[in-house]
Amino acid sequence: MDEFVVYVLYSRSSGKTYVGFTSDLITRFHSHNHFSAKGYTARFRPWEVVHVEFFTTKHEAMVRERWLKSGAGREWLRENILF
């Protein structure tokens, strides 16, 4: 059975956040910090995982990721998760 993870990354050096989802958090986290040579996550390394949520369907994870990227979701992150 597949399990999907919505995750929030935080860069202490820049104060930036990144929200994503995956079925393999360890590999995805490693790719954000080491593999990609360009793009948003490459610019603000290092990243740390500050929040994870688990879902049984890809659709549920995608809906939650979309919400966390919305204005209300970003506000919730600031109030409940971020430093």
Please report, for the chain, the start and end positions of each structural domain, with discontinuous segments joined by +.
4-80
Residue 24: the pLDDT is 92
What tens digit of pLDDT does each residue of 24-70 get?
A: 988 988 888 887 777 888 889 999 999 999 999 999 999 999 999 99
pTM, entire model: 0.90
Q: What is the CATH number of domain 4-80?
A: 3.40.1440.10
Whether residue 1 has pLDDT greater than 80:
no
- Burial annotation 45-78 (CB, 10 A radius, 16+ → b, else e): eebeeebeeebeeeeebeebbeebeeeebeeebe
